[in-house]
């Protein structure tokens, strides 16, 4: 199994409070991703990173920010949590994205964080 951990695994918070979720990997993979999973929507990409300090927006990035100061850590921050951000959040890693466009590695997922915003 890929070495990916997420913390916390469960969190309940109140509307308007800041929340930071952490993803930690031990695989030294270059690419890291944050998704949210909601019923009827599957997984939707929030932000991703293709290297230290290199990040880009995904499909549902509004209300979220990310940071990656080390290869192994990718942080997702909800600046001011809202009830619509209640979801299960997954971190994923991959060895390469489209480097050279000759291969595309599968993404491996962390165990998920269940976030409830009251």
Partner 1 sequence: AQKVTQAQTEISVVEKEDVTLDCVYETRDTTYYLFWYKQPPSGELVFLIRRNSFDEQNEISGRYSWNFQKSTSSFNFTITASQVVDSAVYFCALSDYNTDKLIFGTGTRLQVFP
Half-sphere exposure of 64 (CA within 13 A, CB side): 27
Q: Is 112 in the site for partner 1 (CB under 8 A)?
A: yes
Q: Is 101 in the site for partner 1 (CB under 8 A)?
A: yes
Query: Which of 43, 61, 71, 86 lies at the binding interface for partner 1 (CB under 8 A)?
Result: 43
Q: Is 52 in the site for partner 1 (CB under 8 A)?
A: no
Q: Mark the segment that binds partner 1 (CB under 8 A) among 18-26, 48-56, 60-68, 76-84.
A: 48-56
36: left (phi over 0), alpha (psi -120 to 50) or beta: beta
Q: Is 98 in the site for partner 1 (CB under 8 A)?
A: yes
Q: Mark the segment that binds partner 1 (CB under 8 A) among 17-25, 40-48, 65-73, 74-82.
A: 40-48
DSSP string covering 93-117, please?
A: EES-SSGGGS--PPPEE---EEEEE
CB of 18 to partner 1, least distance (A): 25
Tokens, residue 92: 């994923």
Handedness of CA 41, 103, 107, 83 (dihedral sign): negative
Residues near partner 1 (CB under 8 A): 31, 40-45, 48, 50, 56, 58-59, 88, 90, 92, 94, 97-98, 101, 104-109, 111-112
């Amino acid at each position: 199994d890929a070495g990916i951990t997420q913390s916390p695994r469960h969190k309940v918070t109140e509307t308007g409070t800041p929340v930071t979720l952490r993803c930690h990997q031990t695989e030294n993979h270059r690419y890291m991703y944050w998704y949210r999973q909601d019923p009827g929507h599957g997984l939707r990409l929030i932000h991703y990173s293709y290297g230290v300090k290199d990040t880009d927006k995904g499909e549902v990035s509004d209300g979220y920010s990310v940071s990656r100061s080390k290869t192994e850590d990718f942080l997702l921050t909800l600046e001011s949590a809202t009830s619509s951000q209640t979801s299960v959040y997954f971190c994923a890693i991959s060895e390469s994205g489209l480097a050279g466009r000759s291969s595309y590695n599968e993404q491996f997922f962390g165990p998920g964080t269940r976030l409830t915003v009251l």
